[in-house]
Structure 1
């Protein structure tokens, strides 16, 4: 078979799901596969394909994509593409239609979000019945997929996401790190406690703020750094951001927590932090967790969703996502013990190198793309 794949992502949003195709395209190329793309015209996804070196096909809407099915089949034939990979459940309408019209196509779907309700009605039985393999990004997600989708277990595989760990390796000298910390408002000698991610309900910023308030003077001098866009066009919920600002003021924390806004230099920001918190309530995977681990940081994550698959007592700490007291206790433990932070951070980076690299993820993906049909 040819080593070519068409990634379909018909989304106007911009999050981990939408970033995924362009993240893996360079590694696919390194491992001998050529990627093509289909996206909505004018979308950030289409732009990201171009940034990854792929000129995507574009359609004005999802409906128009369905009407273009015959043209897409012609494109697939002309470019000898035998594999289609969808990333949004709504894109499966198109993927399943193409696979129905040309049964030799191999259709893949990655559940990036974690299904929340059963999908076993006639439409979903038809659409998922055309799927060659459904890829779950964690074991927690896979268990939900097994219960929700009309597929036999052998057609649902867990394939952990991965990152390139090299950009996260520390590279700042002491002077550069001190300058970056000053720019983030971190006082000299303070323990910097950061929370990166979109500022939206479910990501846990509220419990983090409450935990900082409980931390008070029980720990060494500390400073909070909240990293994430503050405006809707940056993916955040502006009403929620306003609520966070109000709560910080009510708790007297406005001067002790910096709202850093959207940043493109997250690997370097990790170098400025001493502790990274990821209090999301129900992550399907936890990409931010492994990014912080790759940076050698001491990480506190929620003991829900997939995060416990990434962190254990030897690589970080876990706390219940709604329990501010538990978060404060974990922060206090790590804030008061620099040697423990260093030990956890070193072990965390080794875990990423062993289990969560982008190269390993793409190798597993190619194994699926290349396998003979089964299930």
Structure 2
């Protein structure tokens, strides 16, 4: 007897674009359509995320007349009140959408979408899979998810809710994000030289990189301070810091702060805002080291992407970073909030080619063995099957 696929809705805000969105797309692309039929929805199709989907030939449904439960920009009381006042209409639209498309499961992937879709999902009779990729102390995953979610997935042990209002026993899984294994790694020297030419720098300049949104949790200012600390101890070594990522998140800009700090420290010529760029591989390969100064980072995608490409990582010993890095073997872990702690491992990797090569090769081998799309998809689909009450896939 032919079995209908499980219909899973993937809603996205659309005007934001980050690692959670990329991870969800990796999952969507890998799903077996005979078993799971994804339905992708965007609240806004005016941002880079819609372009990303178009580039991968992924079709989606626009729901522009139903706002996510937050103000588009800023967080004033007035805007919050307006967003809350509009929510009953939004909830009605989403409820009608879920019933119209006969959705079995709603798979939400970030805080804005969790809070917007949780209640309509439950009222529609569908199951809610709450995929938490953020702070373990976040109110949503501790207060709303335990009450409304059918199952909660976290991207690391660190990201598990710290104080859920009711037990999530048998409704909580830790599943690492999916990562494609690169088949062709760009030539590192060509990539580095391309960036030196773009920026008009000396050809012997070496780069350390920051990849991610310029938001406080990721600590872009600590990145600048780490580059300054290294330069202060090694003034003749030609090194520059490259920050790849969007400067704005929910109306808060840090690009100005980054450059103001670089100017204050006297290294404005060594700090470069590169913006958001795709594909990421050529730029990840242009840097000698990825620096991750973030705190409370649940499980950053760029850390694993760097390892898969053979770019050594120095990260804070905080959040989900220790779950990915074996200190001294697959990378280095340093004290958080201490930019000077980056200096010694930076010096090792920038001046000792044999040690750079050892870390690069060990990290890549470890990442290839531990992170892949197939393992992630199998784990998620198994949860879909359980939520939908299916046994046919076994």
Q: Same fold (TM over 0.5)?
A: yes
Matched, 1:141 2:175: no
2:285 pairs with one of 258, 268, 271: 271
Using the TM superposition, give the Cα deviation of residue 96 of structure 1 relative to its aligned residue in structure 2, in angstroms: 3.8
Matched, 1:114 2:132: no
Q: Which moved more, 1:179-188 or 1:343-352?
A: 179-188
Distance across 1 between alignment mates of 2:33 and 2:182: 16
Q: Which runs of 4+ in 1 moved over 6 A?
A: none
Aligned twin of 1:369: 384
**Could you state the TM-score of these two structures normalised by the residue count of structure 1?**
0.84
Distance 1:129 1:206, change over 3 A: closer
Distance 1:174 1:325, change over 3 A: closer
Aligned twin of 2:231: 216
Query: What SS does structure 1 have at the residue aligned with 2:314?
Result: strand
Matched, 1:156 2:168: no
CA RMSD of aligned residues (A): 3.0
Distance 1:31 1:176, change over 3 A: farther
Instruction: State the Cα deviation string for residues 300-355 of structure 1 (Å, max 9, x = none).
Output: 01111101111112100011221122111221222221111111111111222111
Aligned twin of 2:364: 349
Are the equivalent residues in 1 in contact too, given 2:20–2:109 (CA < 8 A)? yes
Q: Which moved more, 1:297-306 or 1:345-354?
A: 345-354
Aligned twin of 1:94: 117
Matched, 1:66 2:69: no
Distance 1:112 1:328, change over 3 A: same
Matched, 1:83 2:83: no
Are the equivalent residues in 2 in contact too, given 1:208–1:327 (CA < 8 A)? no
Distance 1:47 1:335, change over 3 A: closer
Distance across 1 between alignment mates of 2:367 and 2:297: 18
Aligned length: 361
Q: Which moved more, 1:218-227 or 1:42-51?
A: 42-51
Using the TM superposition, give the Cα deviation of residue 245 of structure 1 relative to its aligned residue in structure 2, in angstroms: 1.4
How is 1:1-375 mapped onto 2 (pairs within 5 angstroms)? 2-10=5-13, 12-29=15-32, 33-44=36-47, 45=49, 48-52=52-56, 53-60=58-65, 61-62=67-68, 63=87, 64-77=89-102, 81-89=103-111, 91-92=114-115, 94-102=117-125, 105-117=126-138, 124=143, 128-142=146-160, 145=161, 147-166=163-182, 169-172=184-187, 174-175=189-190, 177-216=192-231, 218-219=233-234, 221-229=237-245, 231-232=247-248, 237-238=252-253, 240-313=254-327, 314-371=329-386
Are the equivalent residues in 1 in contact too, given 2:186–2:281 (CA < 8 A)? no
Are the equivalent residues in 1 in contact too, given 2:208–2:241 (CA < 8 A)? yes
Q: Which moved more, 1:248-257 or 1:45-54?
A: 45-54
Are the equivalent residues in 1 in contact too, given 2:208–2:288 (CA < 8 A)? yes
Query: What SS does structure 2 have at the residue aligned with 1:212?
Result: helix
Using the TM superposition, give the Cα deviation of residue 69 of structure 1 relative to its aligned residue in structure 2, in angstroms: 4.5
**Could you state the TM-score of these two structures normalised by the residue count of structure 2?**
0.81
Are the equivalent residues in 2 in contact too, given 1:229–1:235 (CA < 8 A)? no
Distance across 2 between alignment mates of 1:183 and 1:236: 29
Using the TM superposition, give the Cα deviation of residue 276 of structure 1 relative to its aligned residue in structure 2, in angstroms: 1.1
Distance 1:351 1:66, change over 3 A: same
Using the TM superposition, give the Cα deviation of residue 34 of structure 1 relative to its aligned residue in structure 2, in angstroms: 2.3
Which structure 2 residue ranges, 5 or more long, are not aligned?
69-86, 390-394
